Structure 1
Amino acid sequence: MARLTQRKVSVNGVDCPVLEGGPAGSEGSEEAVVFVHGNPGSGRDWTDLAAQVAPFARVLAPDMPGFGRAAKPRDFNYTVEGYAIHLSALLHQLGIRRVHLVLHDFGGPWGIVWGTLEPYHLASITLCNTGLLPGYRWHVMGRLWRTPVVGELLLATQTRPAFRLAMRLANPRGLPREMVDRMYDEMDAGTKHAIRRLYRATGDPGGPMNTVASSLLRPLDLPALVVWGARDPYIPVRYAEIQRETFRRAKVAVLPDSGHWPFADNPQAVAGLVVPFLREQIEPQRSDRPAAA
């Protein structure tokens, strides 16, 4: 696996660490695989998978505002649209014009909305337990976080053992202890504020946004890969096949024993799907480009 490094990028005054890597000479490449985490999480969630893609592609895995080691300003626009706009500014700043998205959890709507804003920069999409979710209703934790006072109390009184248990229930195969403890340690007051703001601003995750985004993305006929842990308690596995309504060429793989973080609870299986898919998208493009004079 390739070695990744971290750089700090400031986007509109918001500092956000970015894990990056790639083959020699890829630092200025306008094409990149961009890994977007969800909640809870950070760019470091993707370290192992991104390191397996880095030998043949530029890879970027940012900490999004409010999460991980990114800045957590109280006045950031903690909405799906706000994160999509931040992602757009980040990619422009890094000179990325051809994007292969790899998305998880809330990274799904952030990345999908970005794709509707800049569709001709979107080259392929990989969805891990996320996507367009028509008719979706909030999971229990989401409903609690959305409830004033209850959400504040729940997040304020969360303990490490309780967090470990919740992660275990969401991932029957289990997640690496280091990853779970890092998530807990990163969930400081700023992240808890971001979670409440984000969930309360996302009123109807199964509503019209899905129809609008689908109508904008379907004509692009994008290469797509859908990887889903069947035992996800937050987003039902039936949504894996539903992604084909928008991404008609999608390859869909359901991992029967995995939970909400399949790339962490079954990393070999997920890498065995994602790495060849991305290689198919990137290497033919390189071979079609004229050789340097």
Structure 2
Amino acid sequence: MRGMQLSDWKREGRMFSFEGHRIFYRDEGAGDVLLCLHGFPTSSWDWSRIWPQLIQRFRVVAPDLLGYGFSDKPSRHVYSVLEQATLTERLMESLGITHAHVLSHDFGVSVVQELLARQLEREQAGRPGLVLRSSCFLNGGLFPEVYQPRLIQRLLASPVGSVIARLFNQRSFERSFSAIFGEKTRPSKQELNEFWEVISHNAGSRVSHRLISFMADRVRHRERWTGALQRTRVPLRMVNGSVDPVSGAHMAKRYRELIPNPDIVSLEGIGHYPMVEAPQAVLEALFSFSARSAQE
């Protein structure tokens, strides 16, 4: 299942201004809103394989978060999950959207955890704001105590991270990126070229050591974000590629231990990018979940 060409994806996108930065996003389809939040180090392009089916069912909004994809990538910026959550709220507000389902992946799951925590606070205070109707998590580091970052991520987060970012190239990217896919679902050379084109757009690979700050944010806000998952009344589902070495079956196991009435769909033989590796399975899991959530 292939979506559109990368050049079409970029051309049909729009720009939103956030704190003086240009944020790229896609907004297409009609009906209930589905917000799609990508992960590190990629972009909204990750959703392209399932995009045609998504927009038949939803109005889909998918931003490139600050520092990613075709959005601005300020080189001296201090990036944070909290700011990305605020960016997401502002984008939705600018589009007149008050309610949305959400599909998230990788570091995008942390943005959703913060959005859920804010939603709980607003509910308690009686304040208006973005209301998440359901949340479907793909592979991501929901719980830092069992998250297993790759060597390149640990190096980027280390004191020599800026040096590593300057040395990071397409060859090293392809090697580390392919390793987190399932054995039978690894990306083709064309797909790797497309992923790298978006990552390296506007010298994006040079800020990767700054973007990786989300790993420290997860530890810093662990109690707040885990508590949000445990206390929220928003329906939750995890769709997990089991052989992902970063956040696969071990993350699903921890989710089952910590989250009341856990709803988990395990995809055997699938790695870190289920929407790329098993697009039909992700669509089926999302559609059945969102339909049920809409009735609750």
Relative to the length of structure 1, the TM-score reads 0.83
Query: Quick one: distance in 1 between partners of 2:213 and 2:15?
Result: 29
CA change 1:201–1:67 in 2 (3 A) is closer
- 1:182 and 2:221 equivalent? no
Query: Quick one: distance in 1 between partners of 2:53 and 2:220?
Result: 36
* 1:86 Cα offset (Å): 1.2
* 1:177 Cα offset (Å): 3.6
What does 1:75-90 correspond to in 2, within 5 Å?
A: 76-90=77-91
Contact 1:80 / 1:198 at 8 angstroms: preserved in 2?
no
Contact 2:240 / 2:248 at 8 angstroms: preserved in 1?
no
Contact 2:113 / 2:228 at 8 angstroms: preserved in 1?
no
What does 1:38-53 correspond to in 2, within 5 Å?
A: 38-53=39-54
What does 1:29-68 correspond to in 2, within 5 Å?
A: 31-68=32-69
Matching residue of 1:166:
176
Q: How many residues align?
A: 276
Which of these residues, 14, 31, 35, is aligned with residue 21 of structure 2? 14
Query: Quick one: distance in 2 between partners of 1:175 and 1:106?
Result: 20
Query: Quick one: distance in 2 between partners of 1:57 and 1:201?
Result: 29
Relative to the length of structure 2, the TM-score reads 0.82
* 1:208 Cα offset (Å): 5.3
- 1:280 and 2:281 equivalent? no
* 1:199 Cα offset (Å): 2.1
The residue type equivalent to 2:159 in the other structure is P
Matching residue of 1:288:
none
Query: Quick one: distance in 2 between partners of 1:176 and 1:60?
Result: 27
Query: Quick one: distance in 2 between partners of 1:273 and 1:33?
Result: 14
Query: Quick one: distance in 2 between partners of 1:78 and 1:107?
Result: 14
Matching residue of 1:289:
none
Larger RCO (alpha carbons 8 Å, 6+ apart):
2
Which of these residues, 142, 156, 162, is aligned with residue 145 of structure 1? 156
* 1:261 Cα offset (Å): 0.5
Query: Quick one: distance in 2 between partners of 1:263 and 1:11?
Result: 28
Query: Quick one: distance in 2 between partners of 1:82 and 1:153?
Result: 25
List runs of 5+ in structure 2 lacking aligned partners: 124-130
- 1:195 and 2:208 equivalent? yes
Query: Quick one: distance in 2 between partners of 1:76 and 1:82?
Result: 11
SS at match of 1:152: helix
Contact 1:131 / 1:243 at 8 angstroms: preserved in 2?
no
List runs of 5+ in structure 1 lacking aligned partners: 286-293
The residue type equivalent to 1:144 in the other structure is L
Decide which moves more: 270-279 or 99-108: 270-279
Which of these residues, 227, 232, 237, is aligned with residue 220 of structure 1? 232
Query: Quick one: distance in 2 between partners of 1:230 and 1:55?
Result: 28
Query: Quick one: distance in 1 between partners of 2:214 and 2:46?
Result: 25
